[in-house]
Amino acid sequence: MWQYRAPLRDLRYVIEELLELPAQWAALPAFAELDAATARQVLDEAARFATEVIAPLNASGDLEGCRWHDGAVTTPNGFPAAYRAFVAGGWPALSADPAEGGQGLPQVLDAALYEMLVGANHAWTMYPGLLHGACECLRAHASPALKAAYLDKLVSGEWLSTMCLTEAQAGSDLGLITTRAEPQADGSVRLRGTKIFISGGEHDLSDNIVHLVLARLPDAPAGSKGLTLFLCPKFLPDGARNAVRCDGIEKKMGIKASATCVLGFDGAVAWPVGEANRGLAAMFVMMNSARLHVALQGLGHAHAAHDNALRYAAERVQSRAPVRPEAARGPADPIVAHPAMRMVLLRQRVLVEGARVLTIEAAHRLDLAAHAPESAARAQAEDELSLLTPVLKAFLTGQGFTIANDALQLHGGHGYVHDYGIEQCVRDSRIAMIYEGTNEIQAIDLVLRKLVADGGVRFAALLGTLAAALPAQGRLADEVRTRLAQLRAAAAELVEAAPADAELPYRAADAFLDATGWLLVAHAWARAQALSSQPRHADDPWHAAKRASARHCADHLLPEFDHALARVRAAWQALASIEPNPTP
Amino acid sequence: MWQYRAPLRDLRYVIEELLELPAQWAALPAFAELDAATARQVLDEAARFATEVIAPLNASGDLEGCRWHDGAVTTPNGFPAAYRAFVAGGWPALSADPAEGGQGLPQVLDAALYEMLVGANHAWTMYPGLLHGACECLRAHASPALKAAYLDKLVSGEWLSTMCLTEAQAGSDLGLITTRAEPQADGSVRLRGTKIFISGGEHDLSDNIVHLVLARLPDAPAGSKGLTLFLCPKFLPDGARNAVRCDGIEKKMGIKASATCVLGFDGAVAWPVGEANRGLAAMFVMMNSARLHVALQGLGHAHAAHDNALRYAAERVQSRAPVRPEAARGPADPIVAHPAMRMVLLRQRVLVEGARVLTIEAAHRLDLAAHAPESAARAQAEDELSLLTPVLKAFLTGQGFTIANDALQLHGGHGYVHDYGIEQCVRDSRIAMIYEGTNEIQAIDLVLRKLVADGGVRFAALLGTLAAALPAQGRLADEVRTRLAQLRAAAAELVEAAPADAELPYRAADAFLDATGWLLVAHAWARAQALSSQPRHADDPWHAAKRASARHCADHLLPEFDHALARVRAAWQALASIEPNPTP
């Protein structure tokens, strides 16, 4: 049966051994006093919370779902109490500034916490999932009065928050938003309109809910340049109920315990956050960390699915393997001995552990961008994050779903029934490919807004950074070096050809993002291979497994990069139009 | 919103124009009197039944599910009435021998019917889904007395049937079955044991249910050579209730309206079908047609998902396309104009329409195997089917799920909610990759039992048949010719290397099956390209769309074959073992 086991050993390996982050923290004034032991302790406690408090609510939450009645939402049994424990433990404020009541710990530890929360219970984690983004947004753009009234309560998690962007006709294209904001004499506005797909738009976890709403002021320009961001609380400062109402919740494929709400604003009181018509920019402040959070959802599911699949494969006995285990007796072997299953499991392990390196490294770049003493280092981290974020969001959520789906397949018929938990993992993981910008939007962000927009300068710089970080020797390092050059060439060709063929970068975008994703994973394993090949690790089973995974990456995952690059090349061919058949 | 539209135009195209089957029927005595007009009429009626009778029950059936109470199962509203209409329409007996009360029509029409039923309502179609197999099995193996008592009722569909194979510990490995059969003096047996995952094991659609059960006689050899097949009715000939009881139904990811039962046999009366200890062989009689039915499930979902995605893409307006449609006005374009969406939709169309050619052609091979006047033609059809069946089952169910999943993605957030129907398509299509032998089992069947077992003789002959059927000219035909040679070489290398490396064919199996699947699709399109490139079709929009799809196949799907072949090559590398981490 499904069970969540936190990847504590691997997190320690990535943070301490592979990336040697404690030494890097020592060089950042904000974390100068953090040592490896303290970080370990935080991770241990986070693992305990994920494993003991919210993982037990994962399957039951899926079966119960949320209930809507006359504007109120009841979350599944145990959800509110778990959230109270989360707040009491100080988890929402883990990486917040001590001046705001936070613990001032690195984003790295917050990323590790978040991977574990999502792996243990994605639906529950949706509720506090937007707190960080809301806080960042308010810090950067809200008036002192709004900050004073709302920031502390959100930092501590006492109140929860939402992002109200989507409307029925405006999903990927926020320019089509029509919710109106009517200015009042006191500087507030009244909001009128209907938002859909609002995660945590209503629930019973916190006393108040702070909605951040994109809407249009009178005479605002059309499109996305006419949107302003507003803060609209469920309860007004005087305790009165605001005119925002939950008109229903969606029946969804997964994350059923997360209330996805239709919110009607019927003259709701709200206050602007940031400048008029600059609402999109205010929202985008938090995009890198929000999208990294979604990438972590992919990883969280991938880890949980792989760990459960591996445990099942070791226990489930079916048919004799072509090469039987040494101790084999009896009519059949554990399916972990069957080559087709090992192929799946090794691929999963390479991706899960490779992804963990990438997400921890990205979170460390968030820390550098915020806290590096030199401005050049901060700028470099920002530039790299702007390229890495869409790749990690799309690639890791796609792989998270694929890994969950392959884990289901490994379970056979048992995978298709609810009892084993793995089909829920497939359903829950699926949403991460869609929200916070669909994976296709991420690819367009990477190739159009990041690569083509600056003539490929930042992307080439990132590949340079990656090449410089490669070990001088080692099979995988050599293979990755060759492919970094191939990707650099493909990027340059795209940039060069784009002006004459406006569709080309759009046709190539998904494949280009995939190629980058595969190469990043291989790059992580090239470094792991070098570390685990040191003579001092020769007899350590942990490092022997890492060496085997690195070999598997070279044998079986590099062809995925080669294929993605072939798809980039194929994108040079013009693409036909396609008309709906009047009669299929 | 989700809507089922039957692919009538394309079915006619494949049957009449591309494969010219009416001319072939004329050469088969069994179908000599069937003309194209009659076949069309059957398809039209089948489409009407699928579209008007069962498609409207698809979403409601998913929401209602089946209910179990004290051994009885209630199917969703409308299911029993739809089944009565199905029987009254004579649909179960479409391809059955007129001597048995059937209509004696080709398997080709039955395949087309089945594609439409599954596309319209997979869960409902599960109930009659095993009738054909049960009838074939009884025809080939049952005693005259059993045939007399059960065959007519099953041919007409008045009674329904099940296949009781799986037990908790015996899924892919039927050798581990433990259900016991205790012989009685009158030639009957008493069955004792528990079967799981029994589709339609209990329901309210038919007056009786005929279970075909694999069980073990006393002193039977261990493993799969000790299994005997038994017929065990829910109600005995004297009207008494037999001692077989539904102990519960599964809560599943999808096909929720299909009752997946736990069946307890507590001394249930049953009779042997075929020889003692030859039960597996008796079941395998029906394997080709049963697995082709599952392949059709992949196609049915793929078609419905693609058709709904294309319709949605034409209606849904979001963002401006990089190259706007000629008539574009306003702030945004239909997403069908966006390259990333066209890439998905064209790929779907190539796969759906290519798959339809392959399934209809396979069904025609079933007709040839049964009715070709010359034994050599029958044997050739059998040999080809034995190779094509596992490929179509695995490749098309995998693609069916992928296409449904890509259609969900195209719907964005709307794809994740139940209202649009596409997430149900994803959940329902998922099971087809698992049952009737998982897709990994299909690959092992292809590579081990079919390819390696006879030294590659039959597989080389199949590739020869495919090469001979290629048009002499045309870009795609040339590309496919090259790749047929590549696949032949890879097959020969696998056969040669297998004796020295017992795991190699198992490591290569999935990739080898994929390569074969992609090549078969491209082969179908090479022929379609030749047909639609004839001058007489130059101005026909239907054929223009086929030409565009063939080009898309050459540009974007052949790289998938190349990648699959690269994965076959990668399988030459030894595969590490993988141990569960005591602490992850």
**Which chain B residues in 61-100 lie under 8 Å from chain A, judged by CB atoms?**
63
Tens digit of pLDDT for each residue in B45-71?
A: 999 999 999 999 999 999 999 999 999
Pick A416's closest partner by Cβ from B173, B253, B417. B253
- Percent pLDDT > 70 in chain B is 99
Closest-CA distance of chain A to residue B206, Å: 26
Pick A310's closest partner by Cβ from B339, B567, B580. B580
Pick B339's closest partner by Cβ from A10, A575, A581. A575
Q: Cα–Cα distance between B449 and B443 in angstroms, integer? A: 9
Structure tokens at B367: 């007709």
Pick A413's closest partner by Cβ from B319, B434, B559. B434
> Are B406 and B351 contacting, i.e. CB atoms less than 8 angstroms apart?
no
* pLDDT at res. B328: 85
- Using the structure block, give the residue that is written with the tokens 């009778």: B53
A328 interfacial to chain B (CB closer than 8 Å): no
Q: Which residues of A are part of the catalytic machinery? A: 436
**Is the per-residue pLDDT at B485 higher than 90?**
yes
**Is the per-residue pLDDT at A157 higher than 90?**
yes
**Is the per-residue pLDDT at B560 higher than 90?**
yes
> Are B584 and A9 an interchain contact pair (Cβ–Cβ within 8 Å)?
yes
DSSP string of A77-101? TTHHHHHHHHHHTTGGGTTS-GGGT
Closest-CA distance of chain A to residue B95, Å: 25
> Are B409 and A433 an interchain contact pair (Cβ–Cβ within 8 Å)?
yes
Structure tokens at A512: 């280009």
**Is the per-residue pLDDT at A290 higher than 90?**
no
A163 interfacial to chain B (CB closer than 8 Å): no
> Are B416 and A439 an interchain contact pair (Cβ–Cβ within 8 Å)?
no
Contact list, A338 vs chain B (CB under 8 Å): 506
Tens digit of pLDDT for each residue in B377-401?
A: 999 999 999 999 999 999 999 999 9
**Is the per-residue pLDDT at B286 higher than 80?**
no
Which of B436, B440, B479, B503 is flagged as catalytic?
B436
pLDDT band at residue A369, thresholds of 50, 70 and 90?
A: very high
Tens digit of pLDDT for each residue in B230-257?
A: 999 999 999 999 999 999 999 999 999 9
Q: Cα separations (Å) of B409 from A177, A245, A438, A508?
A: 21, 29, 8, 18
A413 interfacial to chain B (CB closer than 8 Å): yes
pLDDT band at residue A286, thresholds of 50, 70 and 90?
A: confident
**Is the per-residue pLDDT at B330 higher than 90?**
no
- Is this complex scored with an ipTM above 0.95? yes
Closest-CA distance of chain A to residue B582, Å: 10
Pick B567's closest partner by Cβ from A341, A507, A559. A559
* pLDDT at res. B1: 86
For chain A, how long is the longest CA-to-CA vector? 83
Pick B506's closest partner by Cβ from A340, A412, A440. A340
The residue of chain A nearest to residue B337, with distances taken between CA atoms, is: A577
**Is the per-residue pLDDT at A242 higher than 90?**
yes
Tens digit of pLDDT for each residue in B441-472?
A: 999 999 999 999 999 999 999 999 999 999 99
Question: Across residues B138-154, what is the average pLDDT?
Answer: 96
**Is the per-residue pLDDT at A477 higher than 80?**
yes
> Are B223 and A166 an interchain contact pair (Cβ–Cβ within 8 Å)?
no
> Are A242 and A235 contacting, i.e. CB atoms less than 8 angstroms apart?
yes
B169 interfacial to chain A (CB closer than 8 Å): yes
Hey, of A174, A196, A253, which one would you mutate to test binding to chain B, going by the most B CBs within 10 A of its CB?
Answer: A253
**Which chain A residues in 357-396 lie under 8 Å from chain B, judged by CB atoms?**
none
- Percent pLDDT > 70 in chain A is 99
A176 interfacial to chain B (CB closer than 8 Å): yes
Contact list, A319 vs chain B (CB under 8 Å): 172-173, 175
Tens digit of pLDDT for each residue in A542-571?
A: 999 999 999 999 999 999 999 999 999 999
**Is the per-residue pLDDT at A212 higher than 80?**
yes
pTM: 0.98
* pLDDT at res. B285: 74
A433 interfacial to chain B (CB closer than 8 Å): yes
Contact list, A434 vs chain B (CB under 8 Å): 409, 412-413, 415-416
Tens digit of pLDDT for each residue in A404-462?
A: 999 999 999 999 999 999 999 999 999 999 999 999 999 999 999 999 999 999 999 99
Q: Cα separations (Å) of B104 from A298, B96, B375, B475?
A: 52, 5, 21, 40
> Are B515 and B533 contacting, i.e. CB atoms less than 8 angstroms apart?
no
Handedness of CA B218, B222, B228, B234 (dihedral sign): positive
Q: Cα–Cα distance between B92 and B111 in angstroms, integer? A: 12
A174 interfacial to chain B (CB closer than 8 Å): no
pLDDT band at residue A50, thresholds of 50, 70 and 90?
A: very high
User: Bridge-partner residues for B235, per DSSP?
Assistant: B241
Tens digit of pLDDT for each residue in A383-400?
A: 999 999 999 999 999 999
Question: Across residues A509-534, what is the average pLDDT?
Answer: 98
User: Bridge-partner residues for A163, per DSSP?
Assistant: A212
> Are A552 and B576 an interchain contact pair (Cβ–Cβ within 8 Å)?
yes
Phi, psi of A71 (to 5 degrees): 95, -15
Residue closest to A103 by CA, chosen among A114, A113, A112, A92: A92
**Is the per-residue pLDDT at B288 higher than 80?**
no
How many CB contacts within 8 angstroms connect chain A with chain B?
268
| 3 state DSSP class of B566 | helix
> Are A507 and B343 an interchain contact pair (Cβ–Cβ within 8 Å)?
yes
